[in-house]
């Protein structure tokens, strides 16, 4: 019996918190990683409401990836070597141009 490995998908996940918006860029093919990323976002943002936006951006992740890499240049290297899993989380203030761009991706 052979196992077929699914191609990893790229996700943008967002939670609104007291200190702005926490955004996650996730690369995974496993549902458990989506739950893990959501938990990390909730820990980071401390949201008043348990609402998370999750969008599959696999067809065009370039703009999201560019914002994350601009926020922290180390993210670019980790994405290049990520293989089947990558998670980056950034927190941006409401009104930030990058925050507005990421919110539009949903």
Domain count, the chain: 1
pLDDT bucket at 23, cuts 50 / 70 / 90: very high
Edge-to-edge, what's the strand order for the sheet holding 20-28?
Answer: 53-56, 9-17, 20-28, 86-92
In a domain, 2, yes or no: no
In a domain, 1, yes or no: no
CA-wise closest residue to 70 among 56, 86, 90, 87: 90
Q: d(Cα 90, Cα 85) in Å, to the nearest integer?
A: 17
Please tell me the pTM assigned to this model: 0.91
In a domain, 90, yes or no: yes
Q: Determine the distance from the C-alpha atom of residue 42 to the mean position of all C-alpha atoms in its chain, rounded to a whole number.
A: 13
Position with higher pLDDT, 19 vs 43: 43
What's the pLDDT score for residue 83? 85
pLDDT in tens, 31-57: 999 999 999 999 999 888 889 999 999
In a domain, 4, yes or no: no
Mean pLDDT of 18-42: 95
In a domain, 26, yes or no: yes
pLDDT bucket at 19, cuts 50 / 70 / 90: confident
Q: Which domain holds residue 27?
A: 9-105
Other residues' Cβ atoms within 10 Å of the Cβ of residue 105:
16
In a domain, 95, yes or no: yes
In a domain, 32, yes or no: yes
pLDDT in tens, 50-98: 899 999 999 999 999 999 999 898 999 999 998 889 999 999 999 999 9
């Amino acid at each position: 019996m052979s196992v077929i490995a699914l191609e990893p998908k790229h996700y943008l996940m967002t939670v609104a918190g007291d200190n702005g918006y926490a955004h996650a860029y996730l690369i995974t093919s496993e549902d458990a990683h989506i739950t893990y990323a959501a938990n990390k976002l909730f820990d980071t943002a401390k949201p008043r409401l348990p609402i998370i936006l999750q969008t599959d951006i696999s067809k065009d992740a370039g703009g999201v990836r560019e914002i994350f890499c601009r926020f922290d240049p180390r993210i670019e290297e980790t994405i290049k070597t990520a293989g089947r899993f990558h998670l980056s989380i950034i927190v941006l203030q409401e009104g930030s141009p990058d925050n507005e761009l990421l919110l539009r991706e949903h």
